[in-house]
Structure 1
Amino acid sequence: MRVLFGTIAATAVVLLACGLAMAEPLTLAIAKAVVVPDAAPGQVALNLKMTPDSGRAFAAFTKANVGKTIDLSVGGSVVMSPRLVEPILGGEVMISGRFAKGELRRLAEQISAGRAKATVDVSAQ
């Protein structure tokens, strides 16, 4: 009975991670959120490094959704909506673009303090 339950639970986790049974956004467990210099001069980016389990779930999510637009939200607000052209397998994402001065630092602080969650979902658009 214990082995059967473990198999069922593992299968459910895989289905959820792949988005096959997902009704809600995938919440990412962030191990480290830091602001780093961006490739554009004078700009910064927010680097989110996921925990190993979250990185695997995110990889499965992105594999299942190549070609679709996804919403990456922090604290319930969409911060970027990229179109996935290939799976993201490294367990890390970079957020860059046009943000108000200090906004990425504020997001990094909120994530690091546990006051804001990072989530991904297939865009409704």
Structure 2
Amino acid sequence: MKAVLVAALLVPAGLVLAGCTTAGTPTPATGAAALPAGRSVLLFRPVLAAQSPTTPTSQAGGVPRALEPSTAPQQQAIEAERKTRQDPALANPADHQPLVSAFRCPDEDPLAGQDDPALPLLTCDRKTGERFVLGPAALGNDDIARATARPDENSGGFVVEVEFTPGGAEAWGRLTAESVGQRIGLVLNTSVLSAPSVNEPILGGTAIISGQFDRSEAEELAARLGGR
């Protein structure tokens, strides 16, 4: 049984959730190293701090690019980004404001899809330019049973419906219960797609990702997330 829980979230950036009662053993979030080229890393991270941009962003929206094999120089750039943008000290609230203020969204993010889900992350929303400090991931690709593109009756565009595994649904329930009154970042290949505020726990179910996708973009994202 599915029931759309619109009242459970404030949805400023396009995440709608549906819920159903499930149970199971939680599945750990999966990092980029476990995924081949052409796939995408979807992670659900709690928002620790956020700052709106002072100037309009020039970043493009849409679906972040798929993963590609890393060359040796690219791997060096990835490690350099991890040292600064995934420093465990980011978990210290006293360090949030200066780090977020100084961060600028890169045009081409060398860390895309390569962030460690077990560590905090400094990143941004490519569409709005809003910058975030996010906590360690609570869910990831292994928590997704399937992803499907479908028309959105409200917008006339397309959305991607993500169905969690039983363990993923349980983990999602815990995350939303711990995040009441706070925001959760939906992070695709290290970029924030949306960061809704949680009004109440959501005990299992599905997430519907909307990002002003056309049909081809939604189908591409669904294939990259659910094409196991």
Both proteins in one fold, TM over 0.5: yes
2:178 corresponding residue in structure 1: 64
In 1: Cα distance, 2:150 partner to 2:176 partner: 24
Distance in structure 2 (CA, Å) of the matches to 1:76 and 1:104 = 18
Structure 1, gaps ≥5 residues long: 1-9, 14-18, 115-125
What is residue 79 of structure 1 aligned with on the other side?
193
Q: Deviations over 1:1-25 (max 9, x none)?
A: xxxxxxxxx9xx9xxxxx8xx7521
Of the two, which has the highest radius of gyration?
2
After TM superposition, list the pairs within 5 Å mapping 1:106-117 onto structure 2. 106-113=220-227
Deviations 1:26-81 (A, max 9, x none): 23310010012213252111100000011101100101101111101123222111
Is 1:103 matched up with 2:217? yes
Instruction: Give the counterpart of 2:138 among 26, 39, 48.
Output: 26
Indicate which of 44, 49, 74 corresponds to 2:163: 49
In structure 1, what is the Cα distance between the partners aligned to 2:198 and 2:146? 23
Q: Which runs of 4+ in 1 moved over 4 A?
A: none
Query: In the aligned structure 1, how far is the partner of 2:204 from the partner of 2:145?
Result: 13
CA distance in 2, matches of 1:103, 1:77: 16
Q: Aligned residues, how many?
A: 96
Determine which structure has the larger helix proportion and give its number. Answer: 1
Identity in percent:
31
Separation in structure 2 between the aligned mates of residue 41 and residue 80 of structure 1, nearest angstrom? 17
